[in-house]
Structure 1
Amino acid sequence: MEEQDFDYNLLVRFIEGNADAREKEQVMDWLHQNEQHKQLYFQVKDILDYAAAPGVTAAETEQRWQQVSARLAAAPATAKVLYPWYRVAAAVAVLMILAAAILYTWLPARPALVTILNKDAAPKVVMLPDSSQVWLLKGSELSYAPGWEKERKVTLKGTAFFEVNKHTEHPFTVKMQQMDIIVLGTSFIANSGAATAAAAVSDGMVKAVLPGKEWTLKPDEGVFFENGKSSKQVVHGSYYRMMKAGYFDFNNTTMSEIAEILQVVYGYQVTVRQPEVLQQRSMSGHMAISDEASLHKAISIIMHVEIIKDGQQIIIQPK
């Protein structure tokens, strides 16, 4: 996408989580064109995060914009500001960079944490300060300190798929209630529950750190924590890349693979009764990741099984 063709309103909608799938793709293409675009993205995002912080009033926001506008008036610009300062991303690129840079230096303090909660059905794409990307499932929450410099660290509640940019000197850490994951550069899925945790690697290598135990995971390996114990298992890493598209594409998927998905993606403790019988069955089809109820129904009908759900525990048995 050419610079002059980019609609900067998309940047605001993308940051606020209001962009549709096509608009998200446009913004991601624009971000990957050069480092200046990424720098601009994070400057504007920091400003929007600050505006949303508790205690920042509309009057304070307007006052700061007036201060910035006074400085901008003396600077050469090819277009005027069309919106209040927190909508500065709607202006032309040159004005956006100048306004963001000036205001960035005026902020007295940043919010202690940036917290993102996905309330939508589709996975929410989050770009982190180091340009790593996260696909956050519905009901999941990600938090991190704004403006990373040396420490790359996020806290996860729920489920997310990560694509982490490699930086040898600064490892990337995902902190969860029951487990920490430390990586250099890789793609993996992580699930953090109140009493359970899981991680599965699609590419690269991660280290899972649990109380009294550490596991090194390579592609198609996962670690599971439940009932106070952890175990390392072979997994199917290709399934979790599908989170980026928002759906599962089953192709002769076996019951053991389905049980793994329910455990890794949705955080269930899964018990399969009479596995020797059910392992002879498989299912194929296209299913939205967010539509968990329909997934359970499809499994029940196609695999001819009964699914008994009790909180975060699931029992699957032949009908």
Structure 2
Amino acid sequence: MNEEEIEKKINESWQAGNSNPASDGQKEASWKKFQAEKFPQQKPKKWYYGIAASFLVIAATLTGVLFQKNKLATTNTSAYQIIENPTTHIKTIFLPDSSKVNLAANAQLSFPENFKTHRNVELKGEAVFEVKKDSAHPFTVKSQLTTTRVLGTIFKVKNLSAKHTEVNLYEGSVQLQVEGRDKNWIIAPGEVFVFKNDAIDIESFELFKEFKETPLKDFVTYIQKNYGFQLVFPDDISHKKITLKLNRQEPLEHIIAIVAQLYQYSYQKSNTDQKIYFATNN
């Protein structure tokens, strides 16, 4: 019996089985009887193995594709919240753990929805962080190639480019890591960590800003640059001077209260237009 006749017999048996449904056991017994009668000593043709091998390869390939899709789906399930500051002034935000962030103009901050147990944020641009202490959940800031890890402190991260990041520490202690480096760096208040073009340096800066008989208009410029609020006075201030020593991260409310007391003003803060209006006390 040639291969054409064999194939014909197989088709006839298959069609007969489909037209008269039988149990799996009956089908298997019929096939074995047919096989024994027509080619009792004949070994299976190699093309059967080829077809079987092809099915295995296809199955393995599909399994691999499904695995890759599932893997990608898993890695993207963590939802992130993104906060942007498209304005020209500083934007103050509070994270779910009550940590305070002063986000500079054109900066962006992202953090996971499960932030309270995974206090990890990613920063693009510049921001000052006032981190709530939580020893069980360290706070980390990823900014390009650097990672700043803290427990509770006040610091500023300035991301100037992909290979230029600066971290100023005002209070507490932070540990810094740079991608691709085994060493960790710890800085103290009054120090700034500078990573620029693969070089690392730790420099010092003044923790306090001191004004000695400084024109009040220069003080106004400092407040607007560092806090994002414009001070508006009821009269000409060109002749006025101020003497004051401030922590560089002194809360704005404290500063304004001091200025109001020095010049006997009352004041009103407007978050709408980012201005603080002073008025003469009657």
Q: As a proportion of its length, which structure holds more strand?
A: 2
